[in-house]
Amino acid sequence: MQVKYDKDVNSQLLADKKIVVVGYGSQGYAHSNNLKDSGFNVTVALRKGSSSEEKVRAANLQHQELEEAVKTADLVMMLLPDENQAEVYKDYVEPNLKSGASLAFAHGFNIHFNQIEPRSDLNVFMIAPKGPGHTVRSTYQEGSGVPCLVAIHQNYTGDAKEQAYAYASAIGGGRAGIIETSFKEETETDLFGEQAVLCGGTAALVQAGFETLVEAGYAPEMAYFECLHELKLIVDLMYEGGINTMRYSISNTAEYGDLTRGKRLVNETTKSEMRKILAEIQSGEFAKEYVDDCKNNYSRLQQLRKQDQDHPLEEVGSQLREMMSWVKKKPLVDRSLN
């Protein structure tokens, strides 16, 4: 697998192009500010009366209403929630985007699951940063970046791939590495990663550990530190040098416990459930379930979200973090900015 860096990329390819970023959420905030700081001509496209307008203005970014912005765009990056993209594409992008322009995504969901079937006279590609939007911005500002995946679905003008690499480099991806993949591979692995390991698996593991200690009569504060706070310290070690570096740093006692107990929790039964989760993604069953829930006013999502927001772990955590001023000194997520 070939990894490319800034030195391998011709970012001048986008120098005279009008780049339109649709949406100013987690990724929209990061892409538009990074593109601007890299010297590109970027316009944020907003809905009429958008609540983000104030924040966009405060960041000194150009902005236009959706339809107007798309009409003169050379490249449109769709950074709306996945479930809203098909409608916005159909109503505003498809009728207005000029022939030969580029349509870009940060995740393959809509193309891979056929929610959007783009006009054939467009380039269609993906630049998917492998990290949360807030990190795409904060790492860029620190001089580093988040690795990016690129994929090409339609190459109408012949330089779609070069444009995708140029865009990835402009948002900081070329500092960490840019890898080419397909819409299918990115979509399926991204959904699996967030469901089984990064978000679903980790959150459930932390909650179950916390509950086990509290139900056994230990103080919730202790349980919070053990099962959540320390997780970051452990993951930082893994991030720096893999599981080996983490095991080098922890005590022999911890390492023995890790090696003898970990696989009792995550075992063949867990892996067989992981394979089921992957199969639901591959068959489109998960995508259908999610899109149906969105159409039903996010009924299931809202109910489950509410349930977890009130978990005792969150309450004790917010009290404890008040005492750790450094946790909030340079927050990754600042809700006043985006």
- Binding footprint of ligand NAD on the chain (CB under 6 A): 23-28, 47, 52, 79-82, 84, 88, 106-107, 128-129, 132-133
Q: How far is the CB of 218 from Mg ion (least distance, A)?
A: 14
Rounded Cα distance between 80 and 101, Å, is 19
Stretch that binds Mg ion, among 164-172, 183-191, 278-286, 315-323 (CB under 5 A): 183-191
Token pair of 30, please? 């990061």
190 binds Mg ion (CB under 5 A): yes
- Secondary structure of the chain: what % helix, strand, coil (to 5)? 60, 10, 30
Cα–Cα distance between 40 and 229 in angstroms, integer? 39
Using CB atoms, what's the residue nearest to Mg ion? 190
- Distance of alpha carbon 56 from alpha carbon 73, whole angstroms: 18
What is the nearest approach in angstroms of ligand NAD to the Cβ of residue 234? 22
Tokens of 117: 């079937």
The CA distance from 125 to 151, in Å, is 6
Q: Which is nearer to ligand NAD, 123 or 338 (CB)?
A: 338
Pairwise CA distance, residues 18 & 5, whole Å: 23
CB-based burial of residue 142 (10 Å sphere; 0-12 exposed, 13-18 middle, 19+ buried)? exposed
47 conformational bin, left if phi > 0, alpha if psi -120 to 50, beta if neither: beta
- Shortest distance, CB of residue 265 to ligand NAD, whole angstroms? 28
Shortest Å distance, C-beta 89 to ligand NAD: 10
Nearer to Mg ion (CB atom), residue 15 or residue 204: 204
How far apart (Å, rounded) are the C-alpha atoms in residues 259 and 120? 53
Q: Least CB distance from residue 86 to ligand NAD, whole Å? A: 10
Comparison of 74 and 190: residue with beta carbon closer to Mg ion: 190
Place of tokens 């865009």: 167
Residue 88 binding target from Mg ion, ligand NAD, none, CB below 5 to 8 Å by type = ligand NAD
| Residue 72 interacting entry, from ligand NAD, Mg ion, none, C-beta within 5 to 8 Å by type | none
> Are 89 and 116 spatial neighbours (Cβ–Cβ below 8 Å)?
yes
Rounded-to-integer distance, Cα 204 and Cα 210, Å: 10
Q: Which does 4 bind (CB under 5 to 8 A by kind): Mg ion, ligand NAD, none?
A: none
Nearer to ligand NAD, 259 or 333 (CB): 333
Active-site pick, 63, 107, 134, 153: 107
What one-letter code names the amino acid at 103?
L
Distance between CA atoms of residues 316 and 308, nearest Å: 14
- What character string, x for contact with Mg ion (CB under 5 A) and - otherwise, covers 231-270? ----------------------------------------
Catalytic, 153? Answer no
How is residue 243 written in tokens?
A: 């599981």
Measured from the CB atom, the residue of 197 and 266 that comes closer to ligand NAD is 197
Nearer to Mg ion, 13 or 131 (CB): 131
**Residue 25 contact among Mg ion, ligand NAD, none, beta carbon within 5 to 8 Å by kind:** ligand NAD
| Candidates 161-169, 185-193, 198-206, 240-248; binding stretch for Mg ion (CB under 5 A) | 185-193
Instruction: Tell me the C-alpha distance between 125 and 110, whole Å.
Output: 12
Q: Which residue is nearest to ligand NAD (CB)?
A: 25
Catalytic residue list = 107
Residues that bind Mg ion (CB under 5 A): 190, 194
